[in-house]
Chain A
Amino acid sequence: MGPAAALRIEDLHKSFDGLEVLKGIDLEVVEHEVVGLIGASGSGKSTLLRCINLLEPVNAGRVFIEGEEITARGVDVNRIRQRVGIVFQAFNLFPHMTVLRNVTLGPIEALGASRAEADALATELLERFGLADKRGDYPDRLSGGQQQRVAIVRALAMKPDVMLLDEVTSALDPELVAEVLNVIRELASGGMTMVIATHEMGFARDIANRIGFLDAGVILEEGPPEEIFTSPREERTRRFLQSIIEAGRM
């Protein structure tokens, strides 16, 4: 194997109350790569992402970030999470803090940055994503698209090695989806390593270097987008994509 992969997952298993949600996931993501995870609701996409930054403890298997095993005993989970940014479907901004404080909380309290440093970085990121004028607002005042962009900036402010995006446009009104997707496009072109769980097939096809199709807790099929979307090998993948097309989502 060449240089250490940005993210490597080996035979990952995860159960909730005896119900096995992930049944042996293997996945490798190299630096600057964007991997799209597709699959029906309940196929385990979100759980997989939450396992990667240890928000969910795994039952078996190993996860490596930049060659370091994070599922090993005695690993400092707080330090791992600082290197893996995650953005949720429902934004989950802190409603009692301004946009600026949402973005600077992690750098100040987890990374030990000074307020001045954190403010400067946050301001720079907010400017880059067209949110500079929102820095003093509370999340309630923002549109869903703006909130989700703030959530992305909040994760970026930690300067993560890998970003995990968990259906980040699923809670948005249709007209707000584009602004968030554009932000993700910009991140991809900037070389950010990302794992993106999404229902936006067109977007996944567009942006991902590789697509993984999750079905019943395993990655049933993976490959370049052209291959997965035009000539999938597996019957299940074909049927899933067919249902997406029928729903007019592609």
Chain B
Amino acid sequence: MGGGAPEKYQSLPGGSYTPPSGDRGSRILAPLKAEGARGVTIAVVSTVVVFGLLAFAVLNSSGWPQIKEAFFDPAVFRDSLSKIIERFTRNVFIFLVAEVFVLILAMIVAVMRSLRGPVFTPLRILAAAYTDLFRAVPTILVILLLGFGAPSLQIRGVPHSDIFWAIVALVLVYSAYVAEVYRAGIQSVHPSQVASARALGLSRGKTMRFVVVPQAVRRVLPPLLNDFIGLQKDSALVAVLGYTEALRQAQIVSAANFDFTPYVALALVYIVITIPEARFVDWLVARDQRRLQAVGGV
């Protein structure tokens, strides 16, 4: 994904995007197919040589023993990983709960901003102001503001759990991003689709619900994943409230051992859960493409 992504969304307005067939997510290895057996041999040999040399250079550099001890200490790793994973369940809880509300709130904001007609001007202004505001302010600032600020008010009926407010902060910030993603998707649905739905006598609301939104969401699945991964990572920001989630735990173990390996362990946890998510979305998009072009699938 990564580098190629922005370009393909530029082709969205008007038509539906069709991914190049066959090589989704595996561009790096794709050219090999055309090269044949000789090409594969060259690829394998050159890869082994280059990476072998790299590894040799790193492992034999003068600083390597110190680096290894500070960042890759097997004993500390084993000791810290289970503690970190245990606390990571808190992050999972934070970002899963937040994501559910983000997907809902963002859709409401995006639809509000896409409403036509003079009556809806206040709603459009509200939606625009919201996205402008929460995309501008740093996430960590919103978390501090709400996580420390809201409970300190001691107003009756207002929850004073810091984690509650941290989730609210993440929902507010990420909904602003995701609303823009949805809005791009909504705008990419050709006006003729709206015209034919309205021509059937469907109301504006039903046109949105049955014709525009389903097509819009399909098109923005990959950028939605981007924001989900962002949210997942930013669940670590909750640590600033003193809440012991995975990052805070890694910090504690690191301080106790005078060693940075726990941070590396946590980084690994994030990597391990993110890669399958990316492949899952690739698969989802490819499956959808196949389905729309399949014969007889209801």
Q: Is the CB of A109 within 8 A of B291?
A: no
> A105 — which chain B residues lie within 8 A by C-beta?
197, 200, 202, 210-211
**Interface size class, chain B:** 20 to 34
Residue of B with least CB distance to A93: B196
> B251 — which chain A residues lie within 8 A by C-beta?
none
The smallest beta-carbon distance between A202 and chain B, in angstroms, is 28
Residue of A with least CB distance to B296: A136
Q: Is the CB of A81 within 8 A of B297?
A: no
The smallest beta-carbon distance between B287 and chain A, in angstroms, is 13
Knowing A53-B199, A110-B202 touch, does A140 contact B292 (C-beta < 8 A)? yes
Q: Would you list which residues of chain B between 197 and 230 have a CB under 8 Å from chain A?
A: 197-203, 206, 210-211, 214-215, 218
Q: Is the CB of A137 within 8 A of B295?
A: yes
Using an 8 Å CB-CB cutoff, how does the interface string of B274-298 with A read, 1 for contact, 0 for none? 0000000000000000011111111
Decide if B192 is an interface residue (CB 8 Å cutoff). Answer: yes
Q: CA of A109 to CA of B218 in the docked complex: distance in angstroms?
A: 22
Q: Is the CB of A86 within 8 A of B297?
A: no
Q: Is the CB of B210 within 8 A of A109?
A: yes
Q: Would you list which residues of chain B between 165 and 209 have a CB under 8 Å from chain A?
A: 192-193, 195-203, 206
The smallest beta-carbon distance between A15 and chain B, in angstroms, is 19
The smallest beta-carbon distance between A60 and chain B, in angstroms, is 21
User: Which of B199, B206, B298 contacts A136 (CB under 8 A)?
Assistant: B298
Decide if A158 is an interface residue (CB 8 Å cutoff). Answer: yes
Residue of B with least CB distance to A98: B298
Q: Is the CB of A138 within 8 A of B193?
A: no
Using an 8 Å CB-CB cutoff, how does the interface string of A90-131 with B read, 1 for contact, 0 for none? 101111101010000110011100000000000000000000
> A85 — which chain B residues lie within 8 A by C-beta?
199
Decide if B16 is an interface residue (CB 8 Å cutoff). Answer: yes
Q: Is the CB of A94 within 8 A of B201?
A: no
The smallest beta-carbon distance between B29 and chain A, in angstroms, is 29
User: Which of B198, B214, B218 contacts A81 (CB under 8 A)?
Assistant: B198
The smallest beta-carbon distance between B116 and chain A, in angstroms, is 12
User: Which of A55, A94, A95, A140 contacts B199 (CB under 8 A)?
Assistant: A55
Decide if A78 is an interface residue (CB 8 Å cutoff). Answer: yes
Q: Is the CB of B200 within 8 A of A81?
A: yes
Decide if A82 is an interface residue (CB 8 Å cutoff). Answer: yes
Q: Is the CB of B201 within 8 A of A95?
A: no
Using an 8 Å CB-CB cutoff, how does the interface string of A123-164 with B read, 1 for contact, 0 for none? 000000000000011101100000000010011001000000
Q: Is the CB of A81 within 8 A of B201?
A: yes
The smallest beta-carbon distance between B230 and chain A, in angstroms, is 27
Q: Is the CB of B193 within 8 A of A94?
A: yes
> A82 — which chain B residues lie within 8 A by C-beta?
200-201
Knowing A95-B215, A96-B215, A136-B297 touch, does A158 contact B201 (C-beta < 8 A)? yes
Decide if A213 is an interface residue (CB 8 Å cutoff). Answer: no
The smallest beta-carbon distance between B105 and chain A, in angstroms, is 24
Q: Is the CB of A154 within 8 A of B298?
A: no
The smallest beta-carbon distance between B188 and chain A, in angstroms, is 13
Decide if A79 is an interface residue (CB 8 Å cutoff). Answer: yes
> A92 — which chain B residues lie within 8 A by C-beta?
192-193, 195-196
- A-B contacts, 19 listed (Cβ < 8 Å): A55-B195, A78-B202, A78-B203, A81-B199, A82-B201, A88-B192, A94-B197, A98-B297, A98-B298, A105-B197, A110-B201, A110-B206, A136-B296, A136-B297, A138-B292, A138-B294, A141-B293, A141-B295, A151-B196
Interface residues of B (CB under 8 A from A): 16, 192-193, 195-203, 206, 210-211, 214-215, 218, 291-298
